[in-house]
A = this chain, B = another copy of it.
């Protein structure tokens, strides 16, 4: 009998399910569309059917638990609460409902926390007791490991670094506040920075040829690699703002490592270099040159499911 965990990553478009062994090998995987189940009970039915279909043919496996990563996931309650990009409004009791179908240990947390545990069990943070994972996707997510455990805070929602105020009275954020870090340091943020730079300057740029609503972080990355001045300036600006906020995070939590993950992280040194420079300039001298900023070693395709499954090994 080989011990396995099921990892479930609930995303805005698609919910991915993987059966994972202790070494991080994905033995089987499947997915269901999240958006099609606008009724939460229908989603739970579809999810449980998909899990059953996935595990029934597998033999000689000992299922040790199910780990779930989801936006706005609440670890204490096993709920997803007011997720802006999921079809169910209010509070959805995922763990309670799924337990009706599968009587195994179950744990849920937000997706960035799951990514942090994934890094701890399978990735670049093995054996590290204090580190931070920053996910740079459509928004900015974060997961904090303190003294070897995830920091959930009083209400289960700790780790919302994306909503630290980066610029007072800055860009309007989806959360209702202004100037949140994720309105600058994310795939969406860098696109908006490029749009601002294009309209506020006459600098030549290959990005001027692209219709405004088609500019993406990927195209900005490609332009920057070709030496485009606007694209390079956008990376410098994004890194500077991210670096100052990371310095604030370092001053408070003193991590050994900050792992950067997600779409924008694929830009490598274009984002890491200005980020590190601004971070080092803004940490207290006692922290200088101590904190390792590095890219995730996990493939983005698998990381969410691996992270969710890793919750099982960490918890039970």
Which of A130, A248, A256 counts the most chain B CB atoms within 10 A? Answer: A248
Contact A164 B251 (CB under 8 A): yes
Partner of A286, one of B81, B130, B251: B81
Contact with B along A60-74 (1 / 0, CB 8 A): 000000000000100
Q: Is A52 an interface residue (CB 8 A)?
A: no
Which B residues touch A165, using CB under 8 A? Answer: 244, 247-248, 282
Interface string of A240-255 (1 = CB under 8 A from B): 0000100111011111
CB of B252 within 8 A of CB of A159, answer yes
**Contacting residues of chain A (182-230) with chain B, CB-CB under 8 angstroms:** none
Q: Can you list 8 A-B contacts with CB-CB less than 8 angstroms, sorted by A residue number?
A: A142-B252, A147-B147, A154-B291, A157-B284, A158-B253, A159-B252, A176-B285, A177-B282
Q: How far is the CA of A144 from the CA of B165 in the complex (A)?
A: 20
Q: Which residues of B contact A88 (CB under 8 A)?
A: none
Q: Which residues of B lie under 8 Å from residue A129 when comparing CB positions?
A: 154
Decide if A160 is an interface residue (CB 8 Å cutoff). yes
**Quick one: which of A235-283 are within 8 Å of B by CB?**
244, 247-249, 251-256, 281-283
Binding site for B on A (CB under 8 A): 72, 81-82, 129-130, 142, 144, 146-147, 149, 151-161, 163-165, 168, 175-177, 244, 247-249, 251-256, 281-287, 290-291
Cβ–Cβ contact A160 & B251, under 8 A: yes
Chain A contact residues: helix, strand, loop or mixed: loop
- Cα–Cα distance between A130 and B287 once the two chains are bound (Å): 24
Q: Determine the residue in chain B with the shortest Cβ distance to A72.
A: B286
Residues of B within 8 A of A290 (CB): 154-155
Contacts A284-B175, A285-B175; is A252 near B155 (CB within 8 Å)? no
A149 vs B159: C-alpha distance when bound (angstroms): 17
Whether B282 pairs with A157 at a CB distance below 8 angstroms is no
CB distance from A84 to the nearest CB of B (A): 11
Minimal Cβ-Cβ distance residue in B for A180: B284
Contact of B160 with A252 in the complex, beta carbons under 8 Å: yes
Complex Cα gap A275–B112 (Å): 30
Task: Tell me the complex Cα distance, A282–B283, Å.
Answer: 22
Pairwise interchain contact A253-B151, C-beta atoms closer than 8 A: yes
Known: A176-B285, A252-B249. A151 touches B147 (CB 8 A): yes
